[in-house]
Each structure stands twice: as C-alpha cells, then as structure tokens.
Amino acid sequence: MTSERPLIPCYGCGALVPNEDGPIHRYIGASPGCWAIHGEVLSRGYSMSGFGDDRLMILNSYCVQHPGTPSPQSIQSVGAHLIGLYVVEERGYDGKRGLEAVRIAADGSRAFHWLEPPPNGYGITILDIHRAADPAAHTAAMRVMAETTWAAWSAHQPQVRAWAAELGLP
C-alpha cells in the first residue's frame, strides 16, 4: 500500500483506504482498496508466525463491518458472523468453538433477516490490523476490533442472541 494514491472512505467500514480499481467480493460490501488491505492482512497471517492465530475474529469483524446490501448471501453472512462475535465476546468461546458456531450459523438451516447496519461506523477497522507492526500489536488491535464491532451492533444484539439460542448455541 503506497501513500501516493488518494484515500477515500471505504463504503463498508469507513476506513480511509486507497482509491483504486481492483477486485471486490461479490456480496461483502468493501471498496477495492479495503478488500486489498484485507487480503494483505490474511496473507500476513498465513505467512508470518504470530499474526494468524486470530483469523476468525478478524473475519467475523470484517464481514460484519462490510454487510453489503440486502441479499440472501449478505444476510446469511452478517447473521453468521454476528453469532461468531457473540459467542466469543459474550459467551467466552475459544477460537475452535467460535468457528464451529459460525459453521452452524452459516449452514443454511436457519434463515436470518436483514439487520440495518449501525450508522456511526467503527473505531477500529482492518486498516488498524494492517498497521500492526508486531504480533502483540496485531492481537491487541484484533481484540479491540472484535469488541467495538460487536458493541456497534448493540441494537441488534437481542436478535443475535435469539438466533444463537435457536441454533442450540448457549
């Protein structure tokens, strides 16, 4: 990521990201510059020791911060990843159990409905994870990203808890 490119707010999370053309996900609502940063964070997680132990929490937060527009895929994605945040943030699940909860929520056995995204954006985004210089800073930023993302969706937390209970997730 070079600083020579002009920056724009990502239309999903609001982070100031490079204004560039490039690939995007078909239903996750991220600008090309933000999607590229997400890819760099994932790549670092797979290639550098200490940067990848929390990929699920990054994925949950990222998907929820980029809900896209109402479609069956985006609705299912946001519902499943909100449940992922819930079971870790409120129920204390570890990564393995959190992943299982997301898999259960995403298996298509439960139809979720559109939840209007929070209007005020997010204090911590994938850009903050990208800027983390070492594993400790990376983990700290990821924790805050998950906490603040879950908190931003507070208006819908009762619904997410109900969905989790319907799926048999305590």
CB contact at 8 A, 126 and 13: yes
CA distance 68 to 57: 19
SS3 122: coil
Number of DSSP helices (H) and strands (E) in the chain, helices first: 7, 2
CA distance 64 to 121: 11
pLDDT at 146 over 70: yes
pLDDT tens-digit map of 10-40: 999 999 999 999 999 999 999 999 999 999 9
Domains of the chain, by residue range, sit at: 7-166
pLDDT tens-digit map of 57-90: 899 999 999 999 999 999 999 999 999 999 999 9
